[in-house]
Chains A and B, each alone.
Chain A
């Protein structure tokens, strides 16, 4: 909510800065640097999201202190989903006869976050609200 409000206010202020079209600005097209930064962010997602999503389940400070009590399935699920999305991006790019684009991997990785959290919180269902 804060991020969207900040972006809306920034866009409203920048609207008065210049009246040229967005397509005529220098930063309109993605360069290799922005693609590289996107891939770095996707690497952070691959490394940290599966661990941080279930860190409250790995450590059980109430009963046993900082001791691994069991291996949650969410780590394997997240890495399986990320691997499947990246593999599908490569395969579809080969089938379409085009080069792999870095945004394919970045978009599919971040979409995995969205749909995994959607399934986690079960917004389409009221069955077993809190596992």
Chain B
């Protein structure tokens, strides 16, 4: 059983949920209507990327690298 891909799947799920909720609910309120439309887009991007990046960095520090993991896909060949 290979456990490596599933933390990445969980990271993607978390990021997709945050991005979609912010894009539907918060982007228009975060925009500055007198300046430019992309201010809410930047908040949508970087909030989700920050949360996912912290989680991904924790996983990358805890889990072994895929090529060095005894249970990674390197052992399939």
Contact = CB atoms under 8 A, between A and B. Distances in A.
Contacts of A103: 23
Contacts of B56: 115-116, 118-119
B16 A89 contact: yes
B23 A101 contact: yes
Interface string B36-52: 11000100111011001
Q: Taking chain A's interface residues, is the majority helix, strand, or loop, or is none over half, making it mixed?
A: helix
Given A81-B12, A98-B24, A111 B73 contact: no
Interface in B3-44: 4-6, 8-17, 19-21, 23-25, 33-37, 41, 44
Q: Taking chain B's interface residues, is the majority helix, strand, or loop, or is none over half, making it mixed?
A: helix
**Contact-residue bracket for chain A:** 35 or more
Contacts of A71: 73-74, 76-77
A92 B20 contact: yes
Contacts of B66: 72-74, 77
Contacts of A86: 16
Nearest to A57: B67
Interface in A38-68: 57
A12 interface: no
